[in-house]
Structure 1
């Protein structure tokens, strides 16, 4: 049914549930699992008059983000291995999470994208955005959304 399943994780509790579901689905289908973590390119200041970060601080923050991503993805790989699922982990740097997920699915020839959705509505969705919604509406790869 599926050969490659891409699961996007942000480390949240809801995202961890989506990871477990993706691993179970991959085990059932005999599919390879691709665990994806998107990290920002660099810290951004959104307020005029904010204090810009020094290059050393930017490097330190980016290193922390990379290390955090490695820890999260290592956890996914460990869980996949425990269920005898072939898995690989990838970290992508991008300021637009949804575009990075779609591009990774295309690049790695995923048959399915698995993501969690917080189910925000109204003003919360407007202010906080919805990466899942963007992937769902712009991806040519099928998307399984879990809550």
Structure 2
């Protein structure tokens, strides 16, 4: 049915639980997994004539986001290893997480995108909900939206 499943994460507790369900789904199907974290692009401070010395350079920012991305996808990689599921992981950069998710899924030959309906609380929850909606509206491949029956405990 599905051979390669893209599982997105933002590092939140809800996202990790969704990813765990995605790995279990992949195991049941005998599919491989692509674990993806999308980080925002580097932003120069606006309305500032001189960049403060404490402000990270673009290289420092990208390096920090690569580390954060590795940390966020690590639970997916570990879960795949425990379940014997082949897994590749990556961090991508984009101002539009939804469009990047769809682009990567297409480029990497994924035939399903597995994601949660939200991953944060407050405004962040609204944001990821909009990412899911945008992925649903832009993707030409199937998108499975996983909803938790019970919210995880606060981090």
> What's the TM-score once normalised by structure 1's chain length?
0.84
User: Corresponding residue for 1:146?
Assistant: 146
Larger CA deviation: 58-67 vs 111-120 = 111-120
Question: Structure 1 residues 44 and 95 mapped into 2: Cα distance closer, same or farther (>3 Å)?
Answer: farther
Would you say the 8 A contact 1:99–1:135 is kept in 2?
yes
Find the aligned partners of 2:42 and 2:52 in 1 and give their Cα distance. Answer: 11
User: Corresponding residue for 2:101?
Assistant: 101
1:80-113 CA distance string (max 9 Å, x none): 1101111110111111101100001101111110
Q: Aligned with 2:7: secondary structure?
A: strand
Find the aligned partners of 2:68 and 2:49 in 1 and give their Cα distance. Answer: 25
User: Corresponding residue for 1:37?
Assistant: 37
Would you say the 8 A contact 2:34–2:88 is kept in 1?
yes
Count of matched residue pairs: 141
Give unmatched runs, 5+ long, in structure 2: 148-155
Find the aligned partners of 1:53 and 1:41 in 2 and give their Cα distance. Answer: 17
Question: Structure 1 residues 75 and 5 mapped into 2: Cα distance closer, same or farther (>3 Å)?
Answer: same
Q: Give the superposed CA RMSD.
A: 2.5
Give unmatched runs, 5+ long, in structure 1: none
User: Corresponding residue for 2:130?
Assistant: 130
1:43-83 CA distance string (max 9 Å, x none): 354xx635774697133232211111112222211111101
Find the aligned partners of 2:28 and 2:34 in 1 and give their Cα distance. Answer: 15
Find the aligned partners of 1:84 and 1:107 in 2 and give their Cα distance. Answer: 24
- Structure 1: 4+ residue segments shifted above 4 A: 50-56
Would you say the 8 A contact 2:12–2:119 is kept in 1?
no
Would you say the 8 A contact 1:43–1:61 is kept in 2?
no
1:1-147, aligned counterparts within 5 Å? Answer: 1-45=1-45, 49=47, 53=51, 57-58=56-57, 59-118=59-118, 128=127, 130-147=130-147
